[in-house]
Amino acid sequence: MPLHSSPQHTITLTPELARLVAVIASHVPGQADEPRTVLHRVGLIQLDSLTRVDRAHRLTCLARLPRAARSREIDGQLWSRGEAISFETYTHASALIPIEDWPLFRLNRLSAALRRDSPGNTELSGVTALIRASDHGLTLARIEETAPRAGGGWDWSESKRITEHLVWRGEVVSTDRRLNRRVYDVPERRIPTELRDSVPSRAQILVGLANRAIRSLGVATTADVARHYNLVPADAGFGLEHGDALPARVEGWGTPAWLSPDPATTAAVDSPGTVPEDPRFIGPFDPLIRDRDRSRRVFNFDYTFEAYKPASKRVYGHYVLGVLVGTRFMGRVDVRRDGKVLAVDGIFPEPGGNLAQFRDAVGTAAETLAEQMGLILEIRNPTNTLSTDCG
């Protein structure tokens, strides 16, 4: 992976063009043909256990898949029971990463091995041996049947704390799921040999992560790239300066930016067009808005996740989704799955928006998501109720 650093002309973008580039790079709406395409496009899919609507990784995929896609088919295309096509690890949160990027997380694994709060070697080797002795890996429940239980960080059992630490270190991997539960196995059975044997330098890793991040984001500041993979800003800056990113300036941002060199991105800059105005719901952990600072700067969309707030202190609702139309967030909706029903309990347009257009967008996006999830749709608000069977 060669390193380079040469002066380049700074490309100037308007805020509108920056939004267009960000959406095109993210493959929203419906630009991907299958979940694996989504994973490779965005580079990192955040995982979360909340299921008020659907799992976070499925919502991220559905926003980028055609209306004919089905939520129930996504997991089988993101995880593998044989040789890995992805792996789970931790950046600032639990995330699913394309298996090709395994070498780029070598520094993360080395750092985890040096943590002061690491479990003891006896405990680590004991759990590793237990997993290695299995034929096809073990779920945590099976590990806990024989491993000791004790108080651990975040109220985890001791065996879970040990197992998750082994995942951080890369000595145990999670590349498969059974009934939404992680399967833990050893790398030699799951990670392709050429990836396990790859030992990139620190500089190569930083350049590789920066290249991956800027292609996923389209246009970003150094801080944006740092937050994407939970890097130190100086490391993100090094990777950008020596990688493929193009120097850029976005009017009104007040800080230097970087532009993806992908043909679709540069074509949009050279000849700005549009993206389909196919309204989609965007989940709270979606790459478009999971970085709240970037969401405000790029989309002028100030999103707050309220699930962990007391109900009396919520402004919008428990699990609110953004409503993206083209390159604009027109508002947000309070959505929940109730049995076989997808219920939209509240709609909240952005200030100054057209309420009629927003209602139409919510209806279309809700119909798409309900069909993808195989649910009956109910939209409720003081002046309109819509019930449609999308099964």
DSSP letter for each residue of 310-346: -GGG-SS-SSEEEEEETTEEEEEEEEEEETTEEEEEE
Two tokens, residue 191: 């990670």
User: Which candidate, 74, 62, 78, 29, places its Cα nearest to that of 372?
Assistant: 62
Query: 277: closest CA among 322, 324, 325, 323?
Result: 325
Per-residue confidence band for 148, with pLDDT thresholds at 50, 70 and 90: low
Other CB atoms within a 10 A radius of the CB of residue 250 amount to 24
Single-letter residue type at 338: D
Q: What is the dihedral of CA 182, 191, 94, 42, to 10 degrees?
A: -120
- Write out pLDDT tens, residues 302-345: 999 999 999 999 999 999 999 999 999 999 999 999 999 999 99
Closest-CA residue to 105 (of 226, 206, 224, 221): 206
Q: What average pLDDT does the structure give for the chain? A: 91
Q: Cα–Cα distance between 21 and 218 in angstroms, integer?
A: 6
Residue 341 contacts by C-beta under 8 Å, 6 or more apart in sequence?
Answer: 375, 376, 377, 378
pLDDT in tens, 85-116: 999 999 989 999 999 999 999 999 999 888 87
Quickly state the pLDDT bin for 158 (edges 50, 70, 90).
confident
pTM beyond 0.85: yes
Tell me what the mean pLDDT of segment 48-72 comes to: 97
Of 187, 209, 189, residue with least CA distance to 44 = 209
Question: What is the layout of strands, in order, in the sheet containing 384-389?
Answer: 280-282, 320-325, 328-338, 341-349, 376-381, 384-389
Closest CA to 97 of 228, 1, 3, 207: 228
Which two three-digit tokens encode residue 381? 């608000």
- Predicted pLDDT at 150: 47
Residue 31: strand, helix, or coil = coil
Helix ranges (H only) for the chain are: 15-26, 35-42, 56-62, 75-78, 106-113, 121-132, 140-146, 158-169, 187-190, 193-196, 202-217, 222-228, 233-242, 263-270, 292-299, 355-373
